[in-house]
Chains A and B, each alone.
Chain A
Amino acid sequence: MSDNPPKVLGVQYMQPAFADIEKIIQWRMVISPEIAEHFNDRLREEIRAIRLRFASEIAESNNGRISLVPDHDASIQYSRPIYRHSFATSKTRRRDSTGRYNIYFTLSGNTDGKPNTLRIYRIIHAGSIGNFATSAQPDEE
């Protein structure tokens, strides 16, 4: 008998993701402890939200895929499909990268031929230059 697809994806963090979180919190602590705590709250909220959202998309799909397209440069760096989910720490809509962070993740594990785990590789400020070596470069031609 086959397993039912999970209603929420499991989560795994790679070590560089922890280092990213510590670095961001350290930087925000300099501004204020409240701002640092707010980031921590928003990040965890957002990760819970995407675990639910992608579990639902995977359950409804025939092939276990999600609606995002893999990030080109991150996928090359890790030699596997790496997705990028962007979130803002503020509710104010802004057109620049202020308070915006990217979560880079892949889908792994297997339940009934479909992924069951969100594996987080990096969490990086959206305005950081050199997130991945080629990210900051425009596509030629």
Chain B
Amino acid sequence: MPTLTIDLELPEAEYQFASSLTREERHRVASIAMTAAFATARNVPPTEDWDDATPFTQEEIDALADAVAQEDAGLSSDGEAFFAKLDKQHGWNPKP
């Protein structure tokens, strides 16, 4: 999924920055990140005036959702092999 990274000079500063935000500010950051992600998916430069960003069509939103789903599917599993390995590793009785 396209994402916007807030790049600060010091890695420690990122946590300090996020911690210092109010709830409203955190919403604002999330909103900006989402707008930028959609703009990237559209292959257009994100506007600096976020409130005036053109609304996205349902097709665009669906296309991005599909891309996210495909990415997630590639990274996930049903856990069966993982738990079987865990049981074997520790000598635990296999669970359903």
Contacts and interface: CB of A to CB of B under 8 A. Distances in A.
B5 to A, nearest CB: 13
Contact of A139 (B23, B78, B87, B90): B23
Contact of A10 (B72, B78, B83): B78
Interface in A57-89: 72-73, 76, 79-80
Contacts of B76: 12-15, 119
Contacts of A73: 26
A25 interface: yes
A78 to B, nearest CB: 9
Interface residues of A, number: 32
Contact of B72 (A33, A41, A119, A134): A119
Q: How large is the interface on B (under 10, 10 to 19, 20 to 34, 35 or more residues)?
A: 20 to 34
Contacts of A130: 15
B68 to A, nearest CB: 7
B19 A108 contact: no
Contacts of A18: 79, 82
A94 interface: no
Interface of B: 1, 3, 14-15, 18-19, 21-23, 26-27, 29-30, 33-34, 37, 68-69, 72-73, 75-79, 82-83, 86-87, 90, 92, 95
15 contacts: A13-B77, A13-B78, A72-B23, A72-B26, A79-B33, A80-B68, A108-B69, A108-B72, A119-B76, A133-B14, A133-B19, A134-B26, A140-B22, A140-B23, A141-B22
